């Protein structure tokens, strides 16, 4: 006996199936037309660079550079076509055919986008994967490098290291992160207090604009060249390569690490760190990682919660506050400076390790210090599913404020979160807020980064991190509450992808990422891409 409800359920299943059949058939047809367009319009052998779901390697190519596993599920929308261009003209072809067939395009470098915007879209799209355009040319005499857009930081550091042991580049600390995403959103690492951001050290760039023209700094003009150094290149064009200014580093640097738990005055030392670290000489940088750890020794059984609620798990955890840093010099110099400037840290010689600069790069990327630098060429990333957010702090957080933060962190088990404090000051504070789109300069004490794993109960993890963000409201910057665009966060708002974008809507997150530079970015966008070809959930909109 069938009830009317069952009938209507069956009916809706039927319609859902019908809808998917029709829409995937439509995708396939538009995909076929699009592929035909690519093949017809390309003067080089583009078919070897095209992957559709018919090609057996489609899935592995798609997944290879998906860094955030939250966007690697069967339900995640997939590109109708992936193109891995072998030469620059093939990118022009992809742009031409995307416009002709009204298919949106996503551009992927290292694939570390926090919200998967380089490889996921809710509309039919082509994925332009820049992985094959990644040659690196280092000139150690002029201290410059031309870097192909698809290169990773590890590849960049490796090839600089091959030519010189006293040259470096102030980019990020994780080897599989892509150069293009990082540089075009700012990009910071251990050299930030000495040399500023990666984007502060760009001399030239080549890109393809919405009209398919290949431009360099001279032909694109200073406005567009300004916008792509921190404003997010994916709103403006396809970067082909960057010319970077390399910076000098000593042959030997010192890295150090001091761990304090809550029982070892962690709160007090971190409270001091907030004002000390941003005022230290430029040769020192200090970050802090604060996360829960078990109090028990690893081989002791973990405390379990009794049915009556006693023996709460929280009692068996504490927060470990880890002070991690790098000094551009030898151990003795660091120790005497730190014991004068920051005695509360209690830095001792045993906590310091002298390394060559390239070894320090390896250790910050979690390789053993004696690993071969060729490990930096490994593009296979360590991956987890996660959600992250950022904040900036311009006045020290009170002890009570920090204690409230620990309470929230203690709700999570060890290994689930990553909470980082990154000190600013030094060179970061000397560069004007409008020099490039990245505006978080003088007055910023440090940046906060919070991340939670989303495997297991995703909605609970999302709820937790949103609660943490809410908790931090009184302690962080306000109007705007600033955020780092390379830690993009769709909770801050999204563009309308199907129709026209709105300046007003986009200024909600745009002012957080760029403060007053947002308006200049919108002006430049309106001039160089008025048709809004380069768009995604948080791209810069043109004036309507």
Partner interacting with residue 185 (select from ligand NAG, ligand FAD, none; CB below 5-8 Å by kind): ligand FAD
CA atoms within 13 A on the CB side of 320: 17
Site residues for ligand NAG, 350-389, by CB under 6 A, read 378, 380, 382
What is the footprint of ligand FAD within residues 65-94 (CB under 6 A)?
67
Smallest distance from ligand FAD to CB 107, Å: 4
Q: Does residue number 505 form part of the binding site for ligand NAG (CB under 6 A)?
A: no
Which of the listed partners (ligand NAG, ligand FAD, none) does 451 bind, with a CB threshold of 5 to 8 Å by partner kind? none
The answer to whether residues 155 and 133 touch, using CB atoms and an 8 Å cutoff, is no
* Residue 51 touches ligand NAG, criterion: CB under 6 A: yes
Binding residues for ligand FAD, rule CB under 6 A, total 33
Q: One symbol per residue from 217 to 256: x for binding ligand NAG (CB under 6 A), - otherwise; what is it?
A: ----------------------------------------
Residues 160/246, Cβ–Cβ less than 8 Å: yes
473 Cα distance to chain centroid: 22
Is 318 a binder of ligand FAD (CB under 6 A)?
Answer: no
Residue 6 dihedral angles phi and psi, to the nearest 5°:
-60, -45
290 binds, among ligand FAD, ligand NAG, none (CB under 5 to 8 A by kind): none
For residue 450, list its beta bridge partners: 389, 419
| 109 touches ligand FAD (CB under 6 A) | yes
Position 365 contacts ligand FAD (CB under 6 A): no
Which one of the listed residues 159, 475, 487, 513 is annotated catalytic? 487
**Least Cβ distance, residue 343 to ligand NAG (angstroms):** 11
Between CA 239 and CA 130, with CA 236 as vertex, the angle to 5 degrees is 30
- Closest CB to ligand NAG among 166 and 264? 264
Long-range contacts of 488-493, Cβ-Cβ distance < 8 Å, separation of 24 or more: 488/113, 488/114, 488/115, 488/117, 488/513, 488/538, 489/114, 489/115, 489/388, 489/389, 489/390, 490/115, 490/537, 490/538, 491/389, 491/466, 492/538, 493/538
Contact with ligand FAD (CB under 6 A) among 85, 124, 189, 278: 189
To 5 degrees, how large is the angle CA 389–CA 315–CA 418? 20
Question: Taking CB under 6 A as the rule, does residue 159 contact ligand FAD?
Answer: no
Q: How many CB atoms lie within 10 A of CB 349?
A: 11
Report the alpha-carbon distance of residue 315 to residue 61 in Å, rounded: 45
List C-alpha distances in Å: 192 to 55, 198, 211, 392, 463: 43, 8, 35, 16, 33
Q: In terms of CB distance, is 107 or 347 closer to ligand FAD?
A: 107
Q: Are 420 and 448 in contact (CB under 8 A)?
A: yes
- The span from the CA of 368 to the CA of 361, in Å, is 10
Smaller CB distance to ligand NAG: residue 211 or 265?
A: 265
- 62 lines the binding site for ligand NAG (CB under 6 A): no
Beta strands at 202-208 and 386-393: parallel, antiparallel or unpaired: unpaired
Q: Which of 31, 85, 111, 480 is in the footprint of ligand FAD by CB under 6 A?
A: 111
Q: Which of 486, 495, 517, 532 binds ligand FAD (CB under 6 A)?
A: 486
Which residue reads 């986008």 in tokens? 113
424 is catalytic: no
Instruction: Give contact residues for ligand FAD (rule: CB under 6 A).
Output: 67, 107-114, 117-118, 130, 149, 172-174, 177-178, 180-182, 184-189, 232-234, 238-239, 486
Q: Please identify every residue annotated as catalytic.
A: 487
Instruction: Give contact residues for ligand NAG (rule: CB under 6 A).
Output: 47-48, 50-51, 54-55, 264-265, 268, 378, 380, 382
């Amino acid at each position: 006996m069938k009830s009317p409800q069952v009938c209507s359920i069956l009916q809706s299943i039927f319609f859902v199936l019908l809808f998917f059949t029709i829409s995937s058939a439509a995708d396939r047809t538009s995909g076929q037309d699009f592929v035909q367009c690519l093949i017809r319009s390309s003067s080089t052998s583009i078919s070897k660079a095209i992957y559709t779901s018919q090609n057996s390697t489609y899935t592995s190519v798609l997944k290879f550079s998906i860094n955030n596993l939250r966007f690697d599920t069967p339900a995640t929308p997939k590109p109708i076509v992936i193109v891995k261009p072998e030469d620059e003209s093939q990118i022009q072809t992809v742009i031409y055919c995307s416009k002709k067939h009204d298919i949106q395009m996503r551009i992927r470098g290292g694939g570390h986008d926090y919200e998967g915007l380089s490889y996921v879209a809710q509309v039919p799209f082509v994925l332009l994967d820049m992985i094959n355009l990644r040659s690196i040319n280092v000139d150690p005499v002029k201290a410059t490098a031309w870097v192909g857009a698809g290169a990773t930081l590890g590849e960049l550091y490796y090839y600089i290291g091959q030519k010189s042991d006293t040259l470096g580049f102030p980019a990020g600390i994780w080897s599989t992160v892509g150069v293009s995403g990082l540089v075009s959103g700012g990009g910071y690492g251990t050299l930030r207090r000495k040399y500023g951001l990666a984007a502060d050290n760009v001399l030239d760039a080549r890109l393809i604009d919405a009209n398919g023209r290949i431009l360099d700094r001279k032909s694109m003009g200073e406005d567009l060249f300004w916008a792509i150094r921190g404003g997010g290149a994916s709103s403006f064009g396809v970067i082909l390569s960057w010319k970077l200014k390399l910076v000098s580093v000593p042959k030997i640097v010192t890295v150090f690490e001091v761990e304090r738990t809550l029982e070892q005055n962690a709160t007090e030392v971190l409270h001091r760190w907030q004002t000390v670290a941003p005022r230290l000489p430029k040769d020192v940088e200090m970050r802090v990682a604060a996360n829960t750890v078990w109090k028990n020794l690893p081989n002791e059984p973990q405390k379990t919660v009794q049915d009556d609620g006693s023996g709460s798990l929280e009692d068996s955890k504490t927060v470990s506050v880890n002070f991690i840093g790098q000094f551009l010099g030898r151990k003795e110099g660091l120790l005497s400076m730190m014991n004068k400037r920051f005695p509360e840290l209690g830095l001792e010689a045993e906590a310091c390790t002298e390394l060559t600069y390239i070894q320090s790069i390896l250790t910050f990327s979690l390789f053993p210090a004696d690993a071969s630098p060729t490990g930096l060429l490994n593009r296979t990333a360590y991956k987890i599913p996660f959600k992250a957010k950022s904040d900036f702090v311009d006045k020290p957080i009170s002890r009570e404020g920090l204690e409230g933060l620990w309470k929230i962190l203690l709700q999570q088990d060890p290994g689930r979160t990553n909470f980082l404090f990154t000190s600013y000051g030094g060179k970061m504070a000397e560069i004007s807020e409008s020099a490039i789109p990245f505006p978080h300069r003088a007055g910023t004490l440090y940046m906060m980064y919070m991340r939670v794993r989303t495997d297991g109960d995703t909605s609970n993890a999302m709820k937790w991190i949103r609660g943490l963000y809410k908790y931090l409201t009184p302690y962080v910057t306000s109007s705007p509450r600033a955020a780092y665009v390379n830690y993009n966060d769709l909770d801050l708002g999204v563009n309308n992808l199907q129709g026209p974008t709105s300046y007003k809507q986009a200024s909600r997150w745009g002012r957080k990422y760029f403060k007053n530079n947002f308006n200049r970015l919108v002006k430049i966008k309106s001039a160089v891409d008025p048709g809004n070809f380069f768009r995604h959930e948080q791209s810069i909109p043109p004036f309507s």
